[in-house]
Amino acid sequence: MSSEEPSIFTRIINREIPADIVFEDDDLIALKDINPQAPVHLLVVPKIPDYENVHELAAGDPALLAHMVAVANQLAAEHSDGQFRLVFNSGENAGQTVFHVHAHVLSGGLAEGSLA
Ligand code: 5GP
């Protein structure tokens, strides 16, 4: 990742592109997805661009992955009813379009929805 163009999320983190940012700390940023697939659809993104997907992150920095899950839980409580789906697309054939690891936090009226 680091040898390539900065990802869209790095550009948002650097405030080069506007986004609806709902959370930020030293390690993570969270923003509203531009194309929401649920009543609440947030993205939780590590600030470092080193990890392309969740299995690289889990192997390289499990504490950061755990922090993402904790923040997802907190955001679901703040923005919805505390119940949520946490989705990591991993690979193009799985729908991944941005190769800077991120979690989709989907919440609100999902019981009858699809898994997409
Ligand atoms: P992926 O398909 O890689 O799992 O998820 C990438 C997500 O980023 C998509 O849900 C897409 O809607 C979202 N996204 C792409 N570009 C932007 C953007 O410029 N701003 C925001 N807020 N979300 C974006």
Give residue 48's identity as a one-letter amino acid code. I
Residue 107 Cα to ligand 1 middle (Å): 16
Distance, CA of 50 to CA of 4 (rounded, Å): 11
Percent helix, percent strand, percent coil in the chain, to nearest 5: 30, 20, 50
67 is catalytic: no
- In the block, tokens 């800077």 appear at 100
Give residue 100's identity as a one-letter amino acid code. H
**C-alpha angle 49-115-32 in degrees, rounded to nearest 5:** 45
Residue-range domain boundaries for the chain: 8-107
| Site to substitute for ligand 1 among 14, 33, 99, most atoms within 8 A of C-beta | 33
Instruction: Match domain 8-107 to its CATH number in 3.40.920.10, 3.20.20.370, 3.40.718.10, 3.30.428.10.
Output: 3.30.428.10
8 lines ligand 1 (CB under 6 A): yes
Distance, CA of 83 to CA of 7 (rounded, Å): 29
Going from the first residue of the chain to its last (116 residues), give the mean pLDDT of each consecutive group of 10, the final group possibly shorter. 80 98 98 98 98 98 98 98 98 98 95 60
pLDDT at 110: 83
pLDDT at 3: 54
pLDDT at 54: 98
**Does the pTM of the predicted model rise above 0.75?**
yes
Say if residues 17 and 8 touch (Cβ distance below 8 Å): yes
2 lines ligand 1 (CB under 6 A): no
Which residues contact residue 3 at a Cβ distance below 8 angstroms, ignoring those fewer than 6 apart? none
pLDDT at 89: 98
Burial of 93 (0-12, 13-18, 19+ CB in 10 A): exposed
